[in-house]
Each structure stands twice: as structure tokens, then as C-alpha cells.
Copies of this chain bind each other. A is one copy, B any other.
Amino acid sequence: MSATAQSSPKRDHLMATAWRLFYRDGLRAVGIDTILGEAGVAKMTLYNHFASKEELIIAILEKRDLEFRTSLMAQVESAGTDPEQRLLAVFDWLEGWFGSESFKGCVFIRAVSEYPEPTHPIHQTAWRHKIAVKAALTDLCGAAGAKDAVALAETLSFLIDGAIVTAHATQTTAPARSARVTAAQLLKLATA
């Protein structure tokens, strides 16, 4: 088995366990041994699948990025065809997320916080997620008729990230509602 294999039961199980612990306690706070103990997997199995803890973290972040955006866009699709409703569906999705049992903020913001040097591979991987989300928002803003879709998407990104951090620290879902109201106002301004 090579370290470049993209999937296997053991690898998936390892990533699932690591994800849970990393998200709950933090990337630096969780050691390899803790993950291995919790997963019931031998250390060499981890190092046969991943070159290092750093590569494990990066693999997890990339997986979460896909899952996150897939889930978000599914909610957008379920909102129908009205462009405004599709954009605002993003905030409904946030509300559900904030209310979920194990919600502990945004792992990407947290990764950027834990690896503050912008050149660090983990920092860069985490930020690529934010760029991807902003691109999706830009599409939604453009479809909704925003004159400057890029600018509105950036503003909504700020709003969303701020709401996530507040929802995390306060353990409430209300920030999603507040942000939704503001988003609706900003969209109206941007299309006027």
C-alpha cells in the first residue's frame, strides 16, 4: 500500500476519528497517540497511509472542504430556483449547522488561527476552502442580480465568518438569523 492511496477502510476510519478529535479539541492539542488509541489502529498503519501528522491534517481539511460545500450547495438547491431565496438559503444552512450537537466553529478559521504563518501548508489548505466558498457565493450573488457580485460575496463572507465565530463562542444559533437579515438588506442595496 502506498502513501498516495486515496481510500481504504483503515485510512477512512483513521481520518474519521482524527477529524472528530481535531475538531473537538484542536489540531495541536490532539496527539497522534490519542488518535490511534481512539481509533484502535497501529501507529505504523497511520504512517503507511500518511507521511506525517501534517499530511493527515491536510487530507482531513480537503475532505471536509468537499463535504462542507456539498452539504451547503444541497441546501441551496433545495431552496428552488428563486435567486434571492437560493442566496439566503446559505444562512438557513448556517443556522442548522450552528445548532448541531458538536458544533465548535469553523475548522478552517481555527486552522488558520493555529498555523498563523500564511505560507504554512495547513494555513494555505484551510484558506483555499474560504476561497472556494467565496467563489460559490459570488455565483449566487451574480445570479441574484448583484451589480458587483464579487464585492457582495466578499462582504457576505466577512459576515458569515464573523457569525460562525460568534455562534461558536456563545453557543447560540442566533448569529445565523442576524446575518441572514443583513444579507437580505445588502442584496437589495446591491441590486438597486
Q: Which A residues form the contact surface with B (CB < 8 A)?
A: 24-26, 28-29, 104-105, 109-110, 112-118, 123, 126-127, 130, 151, 154-155, 157-163, 165-166, 168-171, 175, 178-179, 182, 185-186, 189
Does the CB pair B114–A26 fall under 8 Å?
yes
Secondary structure of the A contact surface, majority rule = helix
Does the CB pair A178–B155 fall under 8 Å?
yes
The 8 closest A-B pairs by CB, nearest first: A158-B162, A113-B113, A161-B162, A110-B113, A162-B162, A28-B28, A104-B116, A127-B169
Contact among B104, B113, B178 for A154, CB-based, below 8 A: B178
Q: What are 13 of the A-B contact pairs (CB < 8 Å)?
A: A28-B28, A105-B112, A109-B113, A118-B170, A127-B170, A151-B178, A155-B179, A157-B162, A158-B160, A158-B161, A158-B179, A159-B159, A185-B186
Shortest Cβ distance from residue A111 to the other chain B in the assembled complex, whole angstroms: 8
Instruction: Please give, as numbers and ranges, the residues of chain B lying within 8 Å of A158 by CB-CB distance.
Output: 158-163, 166, 175, 178-179, 182
Q: How far is the CA of A25 from the CA of B115 in the complex (A)?
A: 7
Instruction: Please give, as numbers and ranges, the residues of chain B lying within 8 Å of A28 by CB-CB distance.
Output: 26, 28-29, 114
Does the CB pair B166–A157 fall under 8 Å?
yes
Instruction: Please give, as numbers and ranges, the residues of chain B lying within 8 Å of A104 by CB-CB distance.
Output: 116-117
Q: How far is the CA of A151 from the CA of B127 in the complex (A)?
A: 29
